[in-house]
Structure 1
Amino acid sequence: MSELVTGEAVALELRPAKLPSRALAVLIDLAVAVAAYVAVTVALVASTAALDEAAQMAVSIATFLLVLVGGPIAVETLSHGRSLGKLACGLRVVRDDGGPIRFRHALVRGAVGVVEILMTLGIVACIASLVSARGRRLGDVFAGTLVVRERVPAGRTPFMPPPPPWLAGRFSGLDLSAVPDGLWLAVRQYLTRMQQLDPQVGWAMAERLAADVAERTGAPAPHGVPPAAYLAAVMQERQAREARRAFGGPTTPHAAEQPPSSAYSPYSSYSSGSGATAATGPAAPASAAAAPLSHSPAQEAPQDSGNERPATGFVPPA
């Protein structure tokens, strides 16, 4: 299985598509586009027979650009990276950080694709895909995108934990525009693989990522909140905004978007309490998670009557 891996050896669940499946998807898309181009050309020839030769040539060029170039760009933009061929092959175009593409990404891919696919019969695209470690053609390199396999077995998909209930929706007013895609990718990779790391190494990595996010957003983690919980809350807020932007919806998250308090959370490695000081590493004080958060008690997580610890593994603010 091919996976994306960061410098910290944290694997990302997205699997880059191989050249055969990408080539098959491109052939399906080209067949559909050429069929549409022929149909439109025949209709235009019949309707513009009275025009002079220069006008007919202009109409032909405009038809080529609109159908064979503009058509794929519009389809990838509206479908968020799923063309007809990619849908049939179980592929999808995503950004380098795993998020959905936008119009500018589809525009760059389509413009470069005219040269490396249409004009060179796909030879340049095949060579670039074979040379690239992640199978990217030139259009993907310039657009900052990646074609990945969307059909992944459910049992092998890593779980990205939700934030604690008392942090859900806490950062709804945060400005995330200054955070680069590469940093989002690193945060996502850390959250999906945090349970596979040594506790002290994972804590240090979370502190470094949280500091980078706080530096670019201007909002550091609230006092007493472990860095892993801060990263999960900020990542959930970004994903909620991406979902509302892609599928439409209100500007403020609904209560249904908040994770239930009884949900499993893998943050117990970084929680405070009896026996947790060594897991948090030397940089984490034993009473850090119990510090007040200066918010209403309504945000407190319910206590588990069995072991007197919240369901998320964190001690909520007093």
Structure 2
Amino acid sequence: MLDTLRHVTTPELIELQLRPAGLLPRGLAWCIDFVIRAALLIALGTFLSNLGRAGSGLWLLGYFLIDWFYPVFFEVWRGGATPGKKTLGLIVVHDNGTPVGWSASLARNLLRTADLLPFAYGCGIVSMLLHREFRRIGDIVAGTLVVYREKPVLRAHPAHEAVLTPHMPLDRATQRALLAFAERAPALTPARQEELAALLPHLARAPSGPQGAARLLGLANHVAGRQA
């Protein structure tokens, strides 16, 4: 299944694009966390092995805490990601893009009981495959999403070599669009740049001078106040 985008506005009026993670990366993250939990339980069992029945009781208590609260601890206190999710570049957030809190994290993890039915996360897998944002039952009830942690993008400045003066006044929205295009351009292929430029034919085409993406970059230089 193809990834989709969820557009949200945070309470601070910040617009975000969240990219929900699909079944495969989430399954790989779960496997990594399973290995870590198993190693913790083996180490705990080895440490308590000489305490007899008391050690067995403490191990069972440790098993309960690790199995159920391992993900809650990392999601709330470690930036929304268990070690497995962090390795795969994933993070748990509320569906409005805000960091996950105690109540939502507890709900989504306690409801793993429902996702596990009838066996091997059967209900959870079916729910993720049917939901357009790949949510399991726990995510739906808790109002959470597992999304890719987007890497910070260094804002690039438009190239210095061309400054073009527009033939008409540019409104604020158009100026923002030009600057956004110039910031993204270094990370785009030339073909993709031209595809985006074609969406603004009234700006990208002129009787003379550069055409297409090169013209948009020149106009962005003008908007940014650069000198020829």
For normalisation by structure 2, the TM-score amounts to 0.58
Residue pairs, 1:107-186, within 5 angstroms: 107-117=106-116, 120-151=119-150, 154=153
In structure 2, the residue matched to 1:4 is 6
Structure 1 115/35 Cα, relative in aligned 2: closer, same or farther at 3 Å?
Answer: farther
Secondary structure (helix, strand or coil) at the match of 2:79 reads coil
Distance 1:152 1:35 in 2: 30
> Residue by residue, what CA displacement relative to the aligned partner does 1:259-292 show, whole Å, maximum 9, x if unpaired?
xxxxx978xxxxxxxxxxxxxxxxxxxxxxxxxx
Q: Is the 8 A contact 2:44 2:59 kept in 1?
A: no
Aligned to 1:99: 98
| Matching residue of 1:24 | 28
Q: 1:118 to 1:82 in 2, by over 3 A?
A: farther
Shift, 1:195, TM fit: 4.7
Q: Percent identity?
A: 29
Shift of 1:64: 1.6
**Alignment correspondent of 1:85:** 84
Q: CA deviation at 1:12?
A: 5.2
Alpha-carbon distance between aligned partners in 2 of 1:45 and 1:73, rounded to the nearest angstrom: 27
- Partner SS, residue 13 of structure 1: strand
Q: Which residue of 1 aligns with 2:40?
A: 36
CA deviations 1:99-146 (Å, max 9, x no partner) are: 001111211122112452498322222111111110011111111100
The question of whether the paired residues in 2 share the 8 Å contact of 1:3 and 1:12 is answered with: no
- Map 1:165-244 → 2, pairs under 5 A: 195=173
Gaps of 5+ in 2: 9-14, 156-171, 178-228
Shift of 1:58: 3.9
Counterpart amino acid of residue 122 in structure 2: I
Deviations 1:73-93 (A, max 9, x none): 112111131111111111100
Query: Measured at CA, do residues 75 and 5 of structure 1 come closer, stay the same or move farther in structure 2, by a change above 3 Å?
Result: closer
Distance 1:71 1:127, change over 3 A: same
8 A Cα contact 1:29 1:85, kept in partner:
yes
Q: CA–CA distance in 2 between the matches of 1:41 and 1:103?
A: 29
- Pairwise CA RMSD of aligned residues? 3.2
Q: Distance in 1 between matches of 2:142 and 2:41?
A: 26
Residues 155, 123 of structure 1: alpha-carbon distance in 2 compared, 3 angstrom cutoff:
farther
Deviations 1:161-194 (A, max 9, x none): xxxxxxxxxxxxxxxxxxxxxxxxxxxxxxxxx9
For 1:2, the aligned partner's letter is: T
Distance (whole Å) between structure 2 residues aligned to residue 38 and residue 28 of structure 1: 16
Contact kept? 1:24, 1:85, Cα under 8 Å: yes
Q: 2:29–2:84: 8 Å Cα contact kept in structure 1?
A: yes
Aligned match of 1:69: 68
- Looking at structure 2, the residues matched to 136 and 21 of structure 1 have their Cα atoms a distance apart, in angstroms, of 13
The CA distance in 2 between the partners of 1:94 and 1:76, in whole Å, is 9
Q: Which runs of 5+ in 1 are unaligned?
A: 157-193, 197-263, 267-318
Q: How does 1:46-65 map to 2 (within 5 A)?
A: 46=50, 48-49=51-52, 51=53, 58-65=57-64
Shift, 1:23, TM fit: 0.8
2:93 partner SS: strand
CA distance in 2, matches of 1:114, 1:4: 27
What amino acid does structure 1 have at the position aligned with 2:84?
A: G
